[in-house]
Structure 1
Amino acid sequence: MRAIIFLLSYMTTSFAEKQDLSGKMFTFPVESDTAHVILIPNLSKSLTAVTVCLRFFSDLTRSKSLFSVATPTSDNAFLLFNENGYHVFQKTAAKFDGLEDKQNEWNSVCATWDSQTGIAQIWVNGKQSVRKGISRGGSISGAPSIILGQEQDNYGGKFDRAQSFVGMLTDINMWDSVLPYPEIALYMSNIPQKTDGNVISWRSLDFTANGYVIVENLVSLI
């Protein structure tokens, strides 16, 4: 039933006009197990490589989901999660320590994964992690459910308020490849990039906000 509901949601939102959210941000004002944003990807194939970049502003010290992708066969098809360090899940998980985000400041984060090598890596505020291996030879297959603000414990739902995001999110992009380091460095420096995400593009975003989520003008990144 949940898959049918998600499919109906996809059919409804996929025909919505895409919005340029330059200079905007999503604000999640309260802890909840309901508030979330569904992102509709520009995608017609399985993914064997991923880059996700985003910026967030929060005062949370507990665990929080930053970007959650589920498929009908995998709750953690690609998950960027923060809990005493950063975690990247692609069915299995890698934890990256020593990358500190700052409370009540904007943090720039990029995460990459390549199926061919299994290598995953994180960048936080210009600092890169060690390279770690997860799910070598894997893929992200099936209609993806991409959620901001919550971590999916099943396809499209089963949210836990203790893992919800509270704060602001902006400049969210997703690519179907590992972005070259010079492009990641530009993102870390808040310099306009040559290319927007070809799976999710902040400047051409198809989304649905659910619950207490507000689209606001961006608070300065400086």
Structure 2
Amino acid sequence: MKPFVTIVLVLCIYVSESDSAGLMQKSVIFPTKTATSFVKLNAAGFSDLTAFTVCLRAASEENRNYTLFSYAVTGSNNELLIWQKTNAQLDLYLGSVITGFSLPKMDAWLRHICVSWESQNGEITAWVNGRRSLRKIGGLGGVVKNSGQFFHGQEQDSVGGGFDIKQSFVGEITDVNMWDRVLKPNEIELISQGCYSDGGNIIDWGSTTFAPGGNVIIKHNNDCTL
């Protein structure tokens, strides 16, 4: 009976974690490549998007292609995908539209990354540690469809699944937020400095519920401890 009791206790801890109300001042660590480790974010409901900003902090020493942010809907597994490439290029997928930015190579230092897009002019911009990239054009007149699923750690080849170990994220990620508008430059600069209490209205790292799976470590990062 003792082994059975131990298993029940572990299960209870897992359910409690998955039912928690956000990840304020916490980081998610993916220690190894797997096809089973992920964090699903239960984002707030929204209508089809004609603009957005996604921001996060991340670090990885992996020298290969992997996903930083995956949003999939039925019929479009890359409805919104932020993809890090081996050659240090950061790609934004909007369905079949791919826009790449040549940015400093990802490394062990946590960096703040934002990507914004708006449909009317098709303007796409990337930001690293509060510094703006050149602006590019893509997805002109398009929309990001609603009713999809958000995942970290894996790229979705089908909604909520189709994971590939070769595309999995290894490293640390935190402070993931998403808005249904393009943030102003001064807002992104402020957010990039860390310890910013206001999260996104679609994904709020401090309050959006989540469900982890596989070999995922969630720890207080103490980045904002006085």
What TM-score do you get using the length of structure 1 for normalisation? 0.86
- SS of the aligned residue for 2:159 comes to coil
1:100-136 superposed Cα distances (whole Å, 9 cap, x missing partner): 1441111110001111111111111233211111111
Instruction: Measure how far apart 1:163 and its partner are.
Output: 1.2
1:100 aligns with 2:104: yes
Q: Show the counterpart of 1:183.
A: 187
1:114 aligns with 2:118: yes
Structure 2: stretches of 5+ with no match in the other structure? 1-14
- SS of the aligned residue for 2:186 comes to helix
Match for 2:70 among 68, 71, 87? Answer: 68
1:172–1:201: 8 Å Cα contact kept in structure 2? yes
Instruction: Measure how far apart 1:20 and its partner are.
Output: 3.8
**Matched residues in 2 for 1:115 and 1:62: separation?**
30
**Matched residues in 2 for 1:189 and 1:197: separation?**
16
Q: Show the counterpart of 2:80.
A: 78
Matches within 5 A, 1:68-217: 68-83=70-85, 84=87, 85-91=89-95, 92-97=97-102, 99-190=103-194, 192=196, 195-217=198-220
**Matched residues in 2 for 1:173 and 1:26: separation?**
14
Larger Rg, first or second structure (1 or 2) = 2
CA 18–174 in structure 1, closer or farther in 2 if over 3 Å, else same: farther
**Matched residues in 2 for 1:155 and 1:102: separation?**
27
What TM-score do you get using the length of structure 2 for normalisation? 0.85
**Matched residues in 2 for 1:204 and 1:82: separation?**
26
**Matched residues in 1 for 2:143 and 2:20: separation?**
27
Query: Between the two proteins, what is the percent identity of the paired residues?
Result: 37
1:38 aligns with 2:43: no
2:25–2:223: 8 Å Cα contact kept in structure 1? no
CA-atom RMSD in angstroms:
2.0
Q: Show the counterpart of 2:26.
A: 24
Which portions of structure 1, spanning 4 or more consecutive aligned residues, are displaced by more than 3 angstroms?
none
**Matched residues in 1 for 2:99 and 2:46: separation?**
27
Structure 1: stretches of 5+ with no match in the other structure? 1-12
